[in-house]
Amino acid sequence: MNKPDQTSLVVAGLEPGATSKRGAARVAGRSRRIGFLFNHDQIHQIAHSLPIALALAAQDGAFEVIIASTNATMRQEIVRLAGSLLDRITLVDLNMTSAVSRSLVTIFGKALPAHKILIYRDNLEFFRSLDILVVSERTSLLLKTRYGLDRPLMVLADHGAGDRAIGFGRKAALFDHILAAGPKIRDRLVRDAGVDPARLTITGYPKFDACPGDAVPLPMQSNGKPTVLYNPHVSPHLSSWFGMGARVLEHFLNSDRYNLIFAPHMMLFQRAVTVTIDKLRVARTGSIAPRYREAAHFHIDTGSVASTDMSYVRMADIYLGDVSSQVYEFLKKPRPCVFINAHRCAWEEDPNFAHWQAGPVIETIDRLDAALDQAIRDHDVLYRPIQEQLFGYTFDLAAEPSAQRAARAILKIASTQI
């Protein structure tokens, strides 16, 4: 497994709360300011757009690359991944500046992402100073819809390339430009969200640039048994965790056929109560019993760097999940998949569940062993061709790295629209 570097702010020559003086010095006097925002509780969105920032930073041109983050965890991960290119970027910490915002975070922060929402109001002058802002989420559209900013131009480099309807909502049309992983994303954004095709550029998937090669196997994998990755999503109305997760863990605890990696969506265990807004749901996350953590054929990870760098999707033999877009990262190398329809969705003709064509779909855990057998037995003849078709429609990959393609698209926007 890829282990995170132990890079610190001190090693990087940066003090908490400071900008990178070296980066600022290198770009003094340049006219265009291209910002990248990382505003989340955890680091799982960083690998989707940071490679684009680094591809820009590696070039010389009339622009400044500014990377803004909103907590120390994200800043440290940015520093670690930036490596030698740190000298070419300006790092900015965005903080709460008003007492009202700090009070609201104290009151509501344990259940709601109050910090993530309020950070915009407290840093409007910073955002106004940018010519382009690249984000990997949609909350940042508050800068347009709530605060009326017409600058910076906002570019979406989305996190993940899955099928869920929330990724193709009408809000996407508010972005000035969208960098799409492949034709699937482009087609659905045009059809479902009403995005003007002229405001879309297919650039591939920069996360693949950030996470190359194979992962180092876990020690438990030396037993020769196939390894299943159980990767439930965080959204209560779609996830298999809240109603069936404990039964999945118990099933594999009592099985001598498989190893299990339990690596859910990084936000699943971030809070004791999960609240989703695409369909308003509130659910208690629960806990993981010690017997699962202690099992020799289990590996449980609820939030390390390995949950974000494709380590588990690369090292597993079988994927078990529900609606996470990580299944498409798994399909970069076709392998057996099984999906849990915990909410008995009518999914067969629904594009929001297109990935469920990649393997058997079950509604009860007593069907799990049979589904795993079927997924393995029928993989080469039935499921592999489907997986290859799904992957090819989702990602447009080329010899040129995706991050460089995205960087070119941003520079074109800068040269033609600013």
Which pLDDT value is given to residue 13?
Answer: 26
Residue 25 has a pLDDT of 36
**Cα–Cα distance, 241 to 153 (Å, whole number):** 38
Question: Which residue pairs, CB below 8 angstroms and at least 24 apart, start in 3-11?
Answer: 3/305, 3/306, 4/77, 4/80, 4/304, 4/305, 4/306, 5/80, 7/76, 7/79, 7/80, 8/76, 8/79, 9/72, 9/75, 9/76, 9/79
β-bridge partners, 273: 284
* Both tokens assigned to 279: 């369909």
Q: Which domains does the chain possess?
A: 21-205+397-417 (3.40.50.2000), 219-394 (3.40.50.2000)
- The pLDDT score that the predictor gives to residue 418 is 83
CA pseudo-torsion sign 320, 307, 265, 223: positive
Residue 55 near residue 401, CB atoms below 8 Å: yes
| Whole-angstrom distance, CA of residue 308 vs CA of residue 46 | 9
**In the prediction, which pLDDT does 110 show?**
60
Residues facing residue 140 across a β-bridge: none
Q: Give the count of beta carbons closer than 10 Å to the beta carbon of residue 223.
A: 10
CA 307 to CA 294: how far, in whole Å?
Answer: 19
Position 271 scores a pLDDT of 80
Ramachandran class of 178: left when φ > 0, alpha when ψ lies in -120 to 50, beta otherwise = beta
pLDDT of residue 15: 36
Cβ(394)–Cβ(185) below 8 Å: yes
Q: How far is CA 53 from the centre of its chain?
A: 16
pLDDT tens, position by position, for the chain (418 residues)? 443 333 222 222 233 333 443 344 333 444 699 999 999 888 999 999 999 999 999 998 889 999 999 999 999 999 999 999 999 999 999 998 776 666 666 656 665 666 788 899 999 999 999 999 999 999 999 999 999 999 999 999 999 999 999 999 999 999 999 999 999 999 999 999 999 999 999 999 999 999 988 889 999 999 999 999 999 999 999 999 999 999 999 999 999 999 999 999 999 998 887 777 667 778 899 999 999 999 999 999 999 999 999 999 999 999 999 999 999 999 999 999 999 999 999 999 999 999 999 999 999 999 999 999 999 999 999 999 999 999 999 999 999 999 999 999 999 999 999 8
Q: Taking a C-beta distance cutoff of 8 angstroms, is the pair 76, 8 a contact? A: yes
The pLDDT score that the predictor gives to residue 103 is: 66
What is the reported pLDDT for 96? Answer: 81
pLDDT of 23 reads 41
